Amino acid sequence: MKNAFIEVIPHKLQRYDTSEDYYQASDNLIHFKISKRPDSRHEWLDAMHGQIEAFINELRGITPEQVDKWDFTHPEAEDPGSLLGCPYFEGHMFANVICQDLAKKIGVKWEDYYNEEIK
């Protein structure tokens, strides 16, 4: 497992329209950028989702560069990771399942979190 650096940033500074982004910063570091949200529990869920997805991807041999290639070639998709054919579909969907349970544990309604408009 690589080291992780998690940073909360204004949404407008994301590389594309996403609430959670990660990339390989160095050989042993993955940098996670989480969009600032009104509820810090939502930011925490984004960070957890990213870490779970990235770890599952790493175990399956899927690189952050492959994730980027998919995401950047599917800008029309609201959630590119949920599209069939997505190379990281399994890790993304597993992270969603885990985060739904985490949301319940911290008193967040999944629908509120998932449908929140991020600016």
Show me where the domains of the chain are located: 3-115
Q: Which tens digits make up the pLDDT trace of 42-95?
A: 999 999 999 999 999 999 999 999 999 999 999 999 899 999 999 999 999 999
Q: Which tens digits make up the pLDDT trace of 21-47?
A: 999 999 899 999 999 999 999 999 999
Name the one residue in this structure whose structure tokens are 């739904």: 100
Task: Tell me the DSSP string of 6-21.
Answer: EEEE-GGGSSSS-SEE
Burial environment of residue 55 by CB neighbours within 10 A (0 to 12, 13 to 18, 19 or more): middle
What predicted TM-score, i.e. pTM, was given to this entire model? 0.92
* 78, 13, 37, 90: CA torsion to nearest 10: 40
Name the one residue in this structure whose structure tokens are 């990235």: 54
Helical segments of the chain, H only: 40-60, 64-72, 89-105, 110-115
Sheet containing 3-9: order of strands: 3-9, 29-35, 20-26
| Nearest alpha carbon to residue 31 among 14, 17, 45 | 14
Determine contact, residues 30/4, Cβ cutoff 8 Å: yes
